[in-house]
Amino acid sequence: MSALLEVEGLTKRFGGLVAVKDISFAVGAGEIVGLIGPNGSGKSTVMKLVMGIEKPNAGSVRIQGADVAGWPTHRIARAGVGLVFQHSRPLHRQTVLENIMLALLPDSLVRLRAGHEVERRAREIAGRVGLERVLDRFPATLPFADLRRMELARAVARDPKVVLVDEPFAGLTAAEVADFSALIRTFREAGHAVLLVDHNVKGVAALVDRIFAMYLGERVAEGSAEEVMRDETVRRVYLGGEIAHATRPAREAAGAAPLLDVQNVSVFYGKAQALEGVSLRINKGEFVSVVGLNGAGKTTLFNAISGLVPYQGSISFAGQTLARRSAATIARQGLVQCPESRELFGEMTVRENLELGGQHQSAQAMAERRDWLYGLFPILRERQGQAARTLSGGEQQMLAIARALMMRPSLLILDEPTLGLAPVILELLSRALETLRNSTDITVLLGEQNVTFALPHADRVYVLEHARIAWEGTPERFAAEAGAGLL
């Protein structure tokens, strides 16, 4: 079988970080391949390298035999590659029909009129994806699934040989997933090569012929969905080889008022629902983990708690409602989030970053706190004069946590601290969390997709799946009851 898309030795570095390391795979005509990996695995970078949105440092990308690596995006598109974006930004002043027609226009500065042929084809494509009833509406009035259909229509309008789909089913209901799967299967029947980029095997297993799994920029497994799910490395990446847990006696008597009480919280991003009726309680001194795949809604939950996104439902902290409080007020009350993206001040030194976290304290209190944190993360003491952006990923994560701790939080929210970090760094973070747990009365809410990292530091665990709490319980029961759902 001749491959329409052939990737060989693809490598991409961002500064010192190797995001994609020597990746090779091929997708043949009439084949659907799933490219999966957890966040930070480099799968999205591979997709961008194929589309030319990023330029590879090494390796080749062949479309029907022609090497297009390093070409500008619009030329790669014309060579026969189409990308269905996860987040579409349609033209809001144009109708759905015009949005689809855009994709059919020639790349010309002098062809001013679109012509009837373009309109006819746009209508035909709209019919194929199920948009015929909304052609004259504006994108802002469409339900989320129809926006995704429009995105699909735009990408297929040019009849690309190779179709890349970024997170095909994110934010869709079960019925819509079935519709989209059927549409994607029509590509296979028409002899296109399809690459589905997603977080986990489960989401795409029913659709794909093969799966290529990545972790930390490298290939970890390849084969049928069943083979990949059985693969030892994949299991370790998603579940951890052996799930460890270290329970300690509950600190608070049952029935005490919780420190954080989240009741029935829902969040919408435009039309997409990111959280659906989520409730959870955290008692004082508890370490609670929220585990879930990327896109499950962990970051949205934390942002709602921190007052960064509007929500429905109620959230109270230390007995007081957080409604109508600004994010800054909430943080000063002792509810501090260490965000997934770290948000360090790159041009400032390690020490300056820490001091910003301790601004509201007296000089002496700040110095004491800083020394205590240097004890927790000794590497930060060595690096204190360095600009934060020159630190390695692991050191940056430690600094982000330390800066959050500088604010003397009573509740610390850690959002995916392990994102993109090597195992040896995880070990260090793990030890620091254990120290916090055993020597302070801090309460921690940890969000993770890395279950191996999350469980040892948890008194209780919540599983977040498709915007809802799917399971809650103790770490000991997790492996038996909830583990399989995460592959």
Binding site for another protein (CB under 8 A): 51-53, 72-74, 77-78, 82-83, 85, 88-89, 91-94, 98, 101-103, 105, 107-114, 137-141, 154-155, 157-158
For another protein, the closer of residues 155 and 444 by Cβ is: 155
Whole-Å CA distances, 382 to 57, 354, 386, 405:
32, 14, 9, 19
Helices 423-439 & 393-406, crossing angle to 10 degrees? 20
> Which residues, 6 or more positions from 120, have their beta carbon under 8 angstroms from its beta carbon?
none
Distance of closest approach, residue 80 Cβ to another protein, in angstroms: 10
Residue with tokens 């706190």: 369
d(CA 287, CA 310) in angstroms, rounded, equals 26
For another protein, the closer of residues 107 and 189 by Cβ is: 107
For another protein, the closer of residues 114 and 366 by Cβ is: 114
Distance of closest approach, residue 311 Cβ to another protein, in angstroms: 24
d(CA 268, CA 344) in angstroms, rounded, equals 27
For another protein, the closer of residues 78 and 133 by Cβ is: 78
For another protein, the closer of residues 96 and 172 by Cβ is: 96
By residue count, the chain amounts to 487
Q: Which of 276, 291, 436 is nearest to 372 (CA)?
A: 436
For another protein, the closer of residues 137 and 251 by Cβ is: 137
Q: Are 399 and 379 in contact (CB under 8 A)?
A: no
DSSP letter (8 states) at residue 194: E
For another protein, the closer of residues 80 and 483 by Cβ is: 80
User: Got the DSSP string for 134-156?
Assistant: GTTS-GGGS-HHHHHHHHHHHHH
129 residue type, one letter? V
Distance of closest approach, residue 86 Cβ to another protein, in angstroms: 11
